[in-house]
Amino acid sequence: FVIPDFVALEAAVAGIHDTVKGIEDGKVADYIPQLGRVDPAKFGIALCTVDGQRFAVGDTDSVFCVQSICKPINYCLTLEEHGTELVHRHVGREPSGRGFNELTLNNDGLPHNPMINSGAIMCCSLIRPGWEMADRFDHVAETWRRLAGGGAVGFNNAVYLSERRTADRNFALGYFMREHKSFPAGTELTETLEFYFQCSSIEMDARSLSVVAASLANGGVNPFTGERIFSADTVRKCLSLMSSCGMYDYSGEFAFTIGLPAKSGVSGGLIIVVPGVMGICVWSPRLDALGNSVRGVAFCKELVNRFNFHVYDSF
């Protein structure tokens, strides 16, 4: 087993869950009513190793929307479809040092990276652009199903409708990029934005998301089905950008303190990848000022205090 003493890890994670549960700081996202109504007390941690050992504690079978956690998956899909060179003609790979939805582009007039809104909208424009919208969504949802290895993958239509209704900033980002001719020729802006909102409204529980993260930890192969969903090269690139850009404007600090590729979403979900070892999902809806789950970040700090999972731990 990749984790020889799994029982000790289970006990430690359950212990951290107990400790971190006491933290009630932060605020549930309320820019749309559907997120504002989520029970702030929810808290679940699920993990899955690359050799299929699993553990879950707390609210790990309530579903929530993936929101920004769709960004790394969509980025992988673009790499698989077009290759690195073409994808990065349309999106950069540097941290922006700015908020996730800030109206800003890099010096080439491109979104800074695929992990912020502008870059994620760009990635959506690159996923099966010639296909019908329904088929494009099916393609994304089917990819999530394969990554989750059979775990249920749903869609929250109310979230989608609300996202679309309150999307002024995302539309502004879209027009800003169109003005800079950043999109591939022939991109239909409204469809692209709607596709982005649909991807953000995919929902699943923490258990399934931990398997998605484990498929990334396992170089793109689902640990249970053995199916290869993404190439090792695609996953390496995605994890690199999750390391540098996955935690919004906290990414540098997170890389320093935690040292693991991760991606957070505004619903309070957080996936953490321990490459070659396991995938973890933490869900707790209260967010800090930068938009990351307060308990999610606190969990990560406790975890790396107890185990040498930081990529630069040397013993």
Strand partners, 46: 56, 281
Under rule CB under 6 A, residue 156 binds ligand GLN: no
C-alpha–C-alpha distance, residues 315 and 240, integer Å: 22
Query: Which one among 43, 55, 75, 100 touches ligand GLN, defined by CB under 6 A?
Result: 100
Is the Cβ of residue 93 or residue 164 nearer to ligand GLN in the bound state? 164
Q: What is the DSSP string of 11-57?
A: HHHHHHHHHHHT---SEE--SSHHHHTS-TT--EEEEEETTS-EEEE
CB of 66 to ligand GLN, least distance (A): 8
Residue 288 binds ligand GLN, judged by CB under 6 A: no
Q: Work out which of 163, 194, 249, 288 binds ligand GLN, going by CB under 6 A.
A: 163
CB atoms within 10 A of CB 131: 12
Selected binder of ligand GLN within 265, 275, 279, 285 (CB under 6 A): 265
Query: Whose Cβ is closer to ligand GLN: residue 9's or residue 282's?
Result: 282
Whole-angstrom distance, CA of residue 31 vs CA of residue 37: 11
* Centroid of chain to Cα 312: 22
Among 20, 213, 266, 274, binds ligand GLN (CB under 6 A): 266
Task: Tell me which residues in 187-206 interact with ligand GLN (CB under 6 A).
Answer: 200
- Contacts with ligand GLN, 40-69, as mask; x by CB under 6 A: ---------------------------xx-
Binding site for ligand GLN (CB under 6 A): 67-68, 100-101, 117, 163, 170, 200, 265-266, 291
